[in-house]
Amino acid sequence: MVEYNIDEIRGEFPILSRTIGGKPLVYLDNTATSQTPRSVVEAIDSGYLDFKANVHRGVHTLSQEATELQEECRRRVRDYIGASSVEEVIFTRGTTEAINLVASSFGSLFPKDGEIILTVMEHHANIVPWQLLQSRRPDLKIKVVDINDKGELLLEQYRSLFNNHTCMASFCHVSNVLGTINPVKEMIAYAHSKGVPVLVDGAQAIPHMHVDVKDLDCDFYAFSSHKMYGPTGIGVLYGKKEHLLRMPPYQGGGEMIAHVSFEGTTFAELPFKFEAGTPDFVGIGAFPKALDFIDEIGIEKIAGHEHELMEYAEAKMMEIPGMRIFGNAPDKSAVISFLVGDIHHYDMGMLLDKLGVEVRTGHHCAQPLMQRLGISGTVRASFAAYNTKEEVDAFIAALNRVIPILS
């Protein structure tokens, strides 16, 4: 696939040809999870049918093959994100676990009275782990960067929050509600100028843009496979080796030890120190197929296509009386959060579903942001590589049908 051949791309996703209540499926909930191409599903199948044996534990052939598949994925991810070595690529259950790992392990090294900078647009996955740390360490303080009316971070305020106590900054690369693409490189450089390490929640960025962790110079970068056409249940924590070496293990168990005795236990080398227990090695083995899918089209082409769809949809949506779109940053990813008049987001989502249009409704795991916007939730439409203008038309037509019913 060299050109952007939408029919060929859609052909990779059998689910897209199904119907919902007799209507063609229009899947616009890609921010929650993207659909999975056949190549990934076949690799998962093969992982179970041809390769299944536990990794890193056996001398037998099957175990070695399964281990090789997993470690091949680690090398692929290293190259995909531009990490320096496989030691910096830790497999997790997803973005959530990656951030919990950092908050729990790296957080245990924070100095007394340390301050953590977050932003008001964070997903709960980048709020609650820090609060859990704080519940064990009441001396720690959390500070929050606000947004402007367009949904952009107040960078001046961000800079003003740093002081001698600041020990961590953690923020999303792209907001899952507003779509805002944050200037993370600039934000990281500023934090580093104050000696502060940075975690970037990349869950909504990496499916839509090229990410180079060395270029960003982030200390940690977290993302989930299932939002980037890959298997569910796996994700990645990238961490700079210098930090990972100092950090205590996050969980204990098999795989993460060098030697265990009741007198004392020593831990495995990186990255295994942070990978206790049997990983989802079948999912990990299949993940490279998702990266191949993205690479074969080209991430810039995917982003360009999604952006076109978003602009097309937003222009049509703004013709609808009472339409409010939340998140109007010039630098925006393909997410549209909206409300119409005083129609409840839940009712809107229910009726759109009756017309085959699958959108997300609610607070999108960003309750502090909802509170900041003074609303309980939104309807959210989000786009992926396989969406089409015809689907946007169907979405707009569905909106125009349900709005009069709900008004």
Where do contacts with ligand PLP occur on this chain (CB under 6 A)?
32, 94-96, 123, 125-126, 172, 176, 201, 203-204, 224
Choose among 169, 108, 173: nearest CA to 143.
Answer: 169
Closest distance to ligand PLP from the beta carbon of 317 (Å): 22
And the tokens for 369?
A: 């942001």
Residues with a known catalytic role:
365
The beta strands (E) that lie in 316-377 are given as: 323-326, 335-340, 357-358, 360-362
Closest distance to ligand PLP from the beta carbon of 19 (Å): 26
Nearer CB in complex with ligand PLP: 56/123: 123
Closest distance to ligand PLP from the beta carbon of 60 (Å): 33
Residue 309's φ and ψ, nearest 5 degrees, are -60, -40
Omega of the bond prior to 197 within 30 degrees of 0, cis? no
- C-alpha distances (whole Å) from 373 to each of 45, 103, 146, 360, 376 are 44, 27, 11, 18, 9
The beta strands (E) that lie in 77-172 are given as: 89-92, 115-119, 141-145, 166-172
Closest distance to ligand PLP from the beta carbon of 172 (Å): 5
Nearer CB in complex with ligand PLP: 27/51: 27
The beta strands (E) that lie in 226-286 are given as: 235-239, 257-261, 264-267
Nearer CB in complex with ligand PLP: 37/179: 179
And the tokens for 171?
A: 């923020």
Closest distance to ligand PLP from the beta carbon of 206 (Å): 11
Pairing of strands 26-27, 357-358: parallel
Nearer CB in complex with ligand PLP: 303/397: 303
Nearer CB in complex with ligand PLP: 174/247: 174
Radius of gyration (Cα) for the chain, nearest Å?
22
Choose among 236, 190, 192: nearest CA to 80.
Answer: 236
Residue 171's φ and ψ, nearest 5 degrees, are -150, 160
Nearer CB in complex with ligand PLP: 115/201: 201
How far is the C-alpha of 326 from the C-alpha of 363, rounded, in Å? 12
Closest distance to ligand PLP from the beta carbon of 368 (Å): 13
Sign of CA dihedral 203, 338, 303, 118: negative
And the tokens for 172?
A: 């999303």
284 touches 91 (CB < 8 A): yes
And the tokens for 54?
A: 């536990």
Residue with tokens 């940075």: 198
Closest distance to ligand PLP from the beta carbon of 352 (Å): 20
Nearer CB in complex with ligand PLP: 33/54: 33
